[in-house]
Structure 1
Amino acid sequence: MKAKKILVTGGAGYIGAHTAVELINAGYDVAIVDNLSRSDKRLLEGIEKITGKPVKFFEGDCRDRNFLLKVFQSEGPFSCVLHFAAYKAVGESVEKPLLYYENNLNSTIALVEIMIKCGVTDFIFSSSCTVYGQPDQIPVSEAAPFKKAESPYGATKQMSERILEDVSRNNIRIITLRYFNPIGAHPSALIGEIPLGTPNNLVPFITQTAVGVREKLTVFGNDYNTADGTCIRDYIHVVDLATAHVKAMEYLSQQRETKFYEVFNVGTGIGVSVLELINRFKAVNNVELNYEIGSRRSGDIEKVFADPSKAMSSLGWAAKFTIDDSLLHAWQWEKKIRDK
């Protein structure tokens, strides 16, 4: 039986690359689209090393309809599209809101337009727990109402979800996955997170400080209403997150409806503070870390972690890696890319 063809946008990025590995290892025929503006060809090389298969890669922008159409016509028909291509830095989105609205919304709209034109019906969307704002109840379930987004990045995810829910009424079947905080790297240390410039996420800033690239780490605020005063997040291993996409895609393929829209949280259900994460990293990897307490950062929320029970029951998915696994793998990846 011929392998199903899957299109992965943003597949040279952190989450997209890990998901491409899981898809290929599950027997799917994967094509990757990425404009390489926020990603790295080293991850494409890593995908090939892990899977032992050549990567079908097409360099281009998801806002470019002509480019997308050529990929769909030459590589299709695709059974499903997994859409990761977006700007994702909360802090940068506060500084450059128009950049985020233009890129994140227009790329999604263009991609869905080409899907419809080419008769592709199944779509997995990469969303975020930032759509919840600061939720009233924690752990937060999919039933929680959207609050005003704390950042333009979060607002683009809220708007994209609204667009996709509307589109799903026109014979497009969509699953939206709301990620919590992906960390770690592939256990092989062949792919991981490669931030451009100063990292926006906590763990690569920790690993870059530990390896000596950064002089010190700044903890943004210790006056929040939490046990140690620092923000609390739900940190999920990136391979667990990647696996959730494969499960979601398979679940979607089993649905009989032609109009379908469903949302799942993808998290561990465990809240970990910034200081807890720092201390776990030091203990697991037996390293010291120079850090200081700074002021709060615009766009950050105080506390959020997932209720992942819906994904566990409907998708048959659960996080398998521990926080210690994630921090060990992140450190192994950091050391590997510094050795080159």
Structure 2
Amino acid sequence: MRVLVSGGAGYIGSHTVVQLVAAGHDVLIVDNFGNSKPSVVNRLEALTDTHLPVHSFDLRDHDKTEHLFANEHIDAVIHFAGLKAVGESVELPLEYYENNLVSTFSLVRAMRRHGVKKLVFSSSATVYGHNTPPLVEDMPTAATNPYGWTKVMIEQILRDVAAADPTLRIALLRYFNPVGAHVSGTIGEDPQGIPNNLMPFIAQVAVGRRDKLLVFGDDYPTPDGTCLRDYIHVEDLAAGHLAALDRLGKVDDPVSTWNLGTGHGTSVLEVLHAFERAVGRELPYEVVARRAGDLPESFADPSRANRELGWSAEKTMDDMCVDQWRWQSANPHGYPDA
């Protein structure tokens, strides 16, 4: 298939591009490079030994989005593009709602106009709000921050669009906490500014960019008192997108929802100690007060994806840390600007 990957230069998008090419798909990328750097494209082309057409514009530009679909043959879309920092979304709610919703409107309008029927949407475990884990796809959705609400809203919008046009085949992929990097160490997560997520923060401590890890609370009702999250290797996550794309050609329902997670939680301290094993030394940390809004635990029930997609997360926490460290140590300051 010829697959358009929006946000294909980003963390999860880039790993999915590599796997799509390896599986024989023809890939084109659209990315405004708001959360990524153009230098990733050269690395993707080196990994895939393929020229990757890249369209550098913002999907909120209806005319450019329409022009792309009018001039390129596209069989399916995987939609990663969007703003994704929870804390920032609280400070900049309008920017998050406008960016994430309007870009999706523009993309889906162009798909409908040009007869593109398959869409894999990058949703999030944040849509489960305060539900008690293990989190199951048929639980009611809600959110605790504007970023999460954009995912809840887009899921509902896509369901409504599919109800109006039942020939569409849409996958809503709710994923948990992506970590790790490609085994080559040439592509990985490159957060701008202070990392919002645990693993890249630990990696920056290990490489000397941060003094120490701050652990937000050790008095939660969990085995070691720190928060539990369902961490999934980005390579397993990318494989889930390929499995979902393949499955869309075989399902009768216009919309399918799948959790992509491991099914178990790992604590902050367990992640830290696994990373210490990967690095070969202890890393400094300090326990500080709880962070507002953090839930004690969150993890998936991935059995539907296991059953219907024939997919399961295979890599261990040690795999995740070894791969993350290989990327970070080889690229201490992330991707080059040029």
TM-score category of the 2 structures, normalised to the smaller one: over 0.9
* 1:46–1:191 contact (8 Å) kept in structure 2: yes
Once the two structures are TM-superposed, the CA of residue 298 in structure 1 deviates from its matched residue by: 3.1
Name the TM-score, length of structure 2 as normaliser. 0.95
Offset of residue 302 of structure 1: 2.0
CA contact (8 A) 1:40 1:194 kept: no
Shift of 1:221: 2.0
CA contact (8 A) 2:121 2:170 kept: yes
**Equivalent residue for 1:51?**
48
Would you say 1:311 and 2:312 are equivalent positions? no
* Residue identity in the other structure for 1:85: A
Q: 2:26 aligns to what? A: 29
Deviates more, 1:67-76 or 1:311-320: 67-76
What amino acid is the match of 2:62?
R
Between the aligned partners of 1:277 and 1:313, the Cα distance in structure 2 is 28
Report how far residue 254 of structure 1 moved: 2.1
SS in 2 for 1:338: coil
Structure 1 CA distance, aligned partners of 2:50 and 2:295?
Answer: 41
* Map of 2:140 onto structure 1: 145
| Aligned-pair CA distance for 1:96 | 1.5
Partners of 2:289 and 2:97 in 1: CA distance: 27
1:125-144 matches, cutoff 5 A: 125-136=121-132, 138-144=133-139
The amino acid across from 1:182 in the alignment is P
Report the counterpart of residue 211 of structure 1 in structure 2.
207
Q: 1:228 offset after TM fit, Å?
A: 1.7
Residue 120 in structure 1 maps to residue 116 in structure 2: yes
Give the Å deviation of 1:65.
1.0
Of 259, 281, 306 in structure 2, the residue corresponding to residue 265 of structure 1 is 259
Unaligned runs of 5+ in 2: none
Matching of residue 321 in structure 1 with residue 315 in structure 2: yes
Where structure 1 has 5 or more consecutive residues not aligned to the other structure, the ranges are none
Question: Cα distance, 1:239 vs. partner?
Answer: 0.5
Cα deviation digits, residues 148-177 of structure 1 (max 9, x gap): 412111111111101111111113221100
Counterpart position of 1:161 = 155
Q: For the residues of structure 1 that align with 2:57 and 2:282, how far apart are their CA atoms? A: 41
The whole-number CA distance in structure 2 between the counterparts of 1:226 and 1:89 is: 25
Supply the AA of the counterpart residue of 1:81. V
> Bigger CA drift: 169-178 or 5-14?
169-178
Q: Which residue of the other structure, out of 290, 295, 315, is the alignment partner of 2:289?
A: 295
Provide the residue aligned with 2:39 in structure 1.
42
Given that 1:94 and 1:298 are in contact with CA atoms closer than 8 Å, whether structure 2 keeps it comes out as: no
Residue of structure 1 in register with 2:223 after alignment: 227
8 Å CA contact 1:6, 1:80 repeated in 2: yes
Letter in 1 for 2:144: E
- Deviation string 1:127-164 (CA, Å, 9 cap, x unpaired) is 0001001213x211112222x41211111111110111
Identity of aligned residues (%): 50
Instruction: Check the 8 A contact 2:8/2:17 in 1, yes or no.
Output: yes
* 2:250 corresponds to 1:254: yes
Q: Is the 8 A contact 1:134 1:304 kept in 2?
A: no
Residue 5 of structure 2: aligned partner: 8
Normalising by structure 1, what TM-score? 0.95
**Mean CA deviation greater in 7-16 or 291-300:** 291-300
Change (3 A) 1:54 1:134: same
Q: CA RMSD in A?
A: 1.3
Q: How does 1:43-192 map to 2 (within 5 A)?
A: 43-76=40-73, 78-136=74-132, 138-146=133-141, 148-169=142-163, 170=165, 171-192=167-188
What secondary structure does 1:142 align onto? coil
1:193 counterpart residue number: 189
> Contact 2:182 / 2:188 at 8 angstroms: preserved in 1?
yes
Superposition deviation, residue 124 in structure 1: 0.4
CA contact (8 A) 1:94 1:299 kept: no
**What is aligned with 2:238?**
242
Alpha-carbon distance change, 151 to 300 in structure 1, aligned in 2, over 3 angstroms: farther
- 2:41 and 2:239 map into 1 onto residues whose CA distance is 18
